[in-house]
A and B are shown apart, each in its own frame.
Chain A
Amino acid sequence: MSADTTPSSTETLTRPPAVPQYADGPGGQRPSLLRLTAVELRKLADTRAGYWLLIVIALLSAGIVTVLLLSAPEADQRFENFFALGQFPVGVLLPILGILLVTSEFSQRTAVTTFALVPQRHRVVVAKLAAGAVAALVSVLVSVATSAVGTLLATLGGNPPDAWSTSAFAMLGAAVFQVVSVLMGIAFGLLLQNTPLAIVLSLVLPIAWSMLGGMISKLRTAAEWLDTGLTTAPLIEPPGAGDLTGGEWARLGVSVAVWAGVPLVAGLVRTIRREVS
């Protein structure tokens, strides 16, 4: 770079030098969202609760593979099936991690420090959402790895047909599924700001809605659009996991907007307005 020829840098040179605020260097830089996201990722794992939840998620992923290897018919011991079944336990536990990431700030009152260092509270929320999404994507990579190990073991012990067949859609579908699950968790955490309440309601409400939709025929059409169990199924269920039709994407979008979008916006407003003490 020829710094002395560009007009903008000559301007910089003629401007009086900024007064250094402190002896140890300028402190005026706002922490970047990238840095805040790294901090939130660190918070996921640096407490006992978070650390063990991550371990349990990894163990369950491996456990599902083991169970399939031991009990499923040889023809079903294929990558696609290992991968699809592994999504369910992760999809239940990862949102709990997302809830804890938010609610522990209030239950343990660490919000006092968090918001003292970053008074623009929405930036903290964005960093938490980003950290949750990163965790979800990492979980998919872990699933790919455990499923691959399972498939390898299956091919060593027998010869399941099309053992390795899968598609990029399956990966995409799982990634969307996990990201949506975590975002729902974080949204419930933000809205309720109470750990047990957020965990219970985020698990119970969709199931209750699902049961109502199943029992009451008038609700059936609504359930097709709002029951996240139904709308997210095409993302992970083989065959053709992740390869959604336009209508399926639309239903997914609507259900996610209702179950994640609405609580997220309401929770964000509540978090920004809340008096922290």
Chain B
Amino acid sequence: MSTSDRSAGPGRPGTLDGMISVERLSKRYGGHTAVDDVSFTCAPGTVTGFLGPNGAGKSTTMRMICGFTPPTAGTATVHGVDYRRLPNPGREVGLLLDAGAMHPGRTGRETLRLSAQVMGVPRRRVDECLDQVGLNAVAAKRRVRAYSLGMRQRLGLAQALLGSPRVLILDEPANGLDPEGIFWMRGLLRDFADRGGTVLLSSHLLREVEAVADRLVVIGAGRVVAQGSKDELLAGAGTAARARDPEALRAALDRAGLPVRAGTDGGLLVSADPGAVGQVAADAGVALVELRPAESAGLEQIFLSLTAGDSVREAVR
């Protein structure tokens, strides 16, 4: 029996339950490498942001975790086992991989009822989840064809929550949500993790993930380029400074031997603490209009360097 496999496993309970574990995962399509040797883990109680520009391999990685795409090499497990060996996956992992993948001819409620029937959860869960994602009775009765992308995302999230899973895997869940919706979703995911759940969510927007994630995995062209706790990745980014006369500030910083590079917003990024930068400016008689620790600017630089050409605009949108 597949159920006894799990309860007899050495890791239960505590160590592997609730974990998402990706080890040296790779996927090649012919000569093209979509995912290249990706490894990371997600632990209970955390939100992991999976960041990267479009086409970086986020969706492919997530599809490999869920058994939709066979990996060329490496393994991925959820709760310590291959996703496809979970006896009733809907009760253990909530998935939202593609909000567009719903039958337009079914009503929102019917879409959830079918899933509830497969998972064997009571019907009242359907209405609870619809309520939880803010789809009212009128919306639930309408066919998905009439839903906006934001409503489909909400319905998809309701479907993911239906089986009361302890793990959520969400691919670009904020797409199509309005600012209020994005704020609401952050609260929902934060609360889910704070109650001991594990969340892996992908995005191509740094700002969107930064507000809710504890950990970040940044991927570019199929490879992990940075990963760690958000604080780790955002620390040590130096100082953002802006002066009335940028040329004079730059010259002064160069003279002082502080490494400087241009920031994304027209200011300067200096690899030194704000005190040192302020002192240099004061000594040179340069008036500053802005001086602050550069929180995400470092990460934003990494992120930008991953993208080239047309996709740059999208990545910093």
Chain A interface residues (CB < 8 Å from chain B) = 18-19, 21-24, 27-31, 35-36, 38-39, 42-43, 46-49, 104, 108-113, 115-120, 275-277
Chain B residues whose CB sits within 8 angstroms of the CB of A116 once the complex forms: 66, 68, 89-90, 95, 97
Partner of B120, one of A35, A113, A275: A35
A-B contact pairs, 10 of them (CB 8 A): A19-B12, A27-B88, A35-B118, A38-B117, A42-B117, A47-B106, A108-B103, A113-B101, A275-B63, A277-B59
User: Which 8 residue pairs spanning A and B have beta carbons closest together?
Assistant: A27-B91, A47-B105, A109-B101, A119-B84, A28-B3, A112-B101, A30-B87, A108-B103
Partner of B88, one of A28, A38, A46: A28
Please tell me the number of chain B residues within 8 Å of chain A, measured between CB atoms.
47
Chain A residues whose CB sits within 8 angstroms of the CB of B66 once the complex forms: 116
Contact A42 B84 (CB under 8 A): no
- Shortest C-beta distance, B15 to chain A (Å), equals 13
Tell me the bound Cα distance from A26 to B92 in angstroms: 10
Tell me the bound Cα distance from A36 to B101 in angstroms: 20
- Known: A28-B88, A110-B101, A275-B63; 13 extra A-B contacts, CB below 8 A, are A22-B164, A28-B87, A29-B88, A31-B88, A35-B117, A43-B114, A108-B101, A110-B103, A112-B101, A113-B101, A119-B67, A275-B68, A277-B69
Which residues B93-110 have CB closer than 8 A to chain A? 95, 97-98, 100-106, 110
Contact B118 A118 (CB under 8 A): yes
Partner of A275, one of B69, B83, B92, B95: B69
Asked whether B13 is an interface residue with its Cβ less than 8 Å from the other chain, the reply is: yes
Asked whether B7 is an interface residue with its Cβ less than 8 Å from the other chain, the reply is: yes
Contact B118 A39 (CB under 8 A): yes
Contact B118 A117 (CB under 8 A): yes
The answer to whether residues A275 and B70 also contact, given A19-B7, A42-B114 and a CB cut-off of 8 A, is yes
Contact A108 B119 (CB under 8 A): no
Asked whether B190 is an interface residue with its Cβ less than 8 Å from the other chain, the reply is: no
Tell me the bound Cα distance from A276 to B118 in angstroms: 19
Asked whether B115 is an interface residue with its Cβ less than 8 Å from the other chain, the reply is: yes
- Shortest C-beta distance, B88 to chain A (Å), equals 5
The answer to whether residues A110 and B102 also contact, given A27-B92, A39-B118 and a CB cut-off of 8 A, is yes
Contact with A along B135-159 (1 / 0, CB 8 A): 0000000010000000000000001
- Shortest C-beta distance, A12 to chain B (Å), equals 12
- Shortest C-beta distance, B218 to chain A (Å), equals 23
- Shortest C-beta distance, A238 to chain B (Å), equals 39
Asked whether B166 is an interface residue with its Cβ less than 8 Å from the other chain, the reply is: yes
Tell me the bound Cα distance from A48 to B88 in angstroms: 29
Tell me the bound Cα distance from A277 to B164 in angstroms: 24
Chain A residue with Cβ nearest B8: A18
- Shortest C-beta distance, B98 to chain A (Å), equals 6
Contact A113 B68 (CB under 8 A): no
Tell me the bound Cα distance from A18 to B69 in angstroms: 33
The answer to whether residues A108 and B102 also contact, given A31-B119, A120-B84 and a CB cut-off of 8 A, is yes
Partner of A108, one of B88, B92, B104: B104
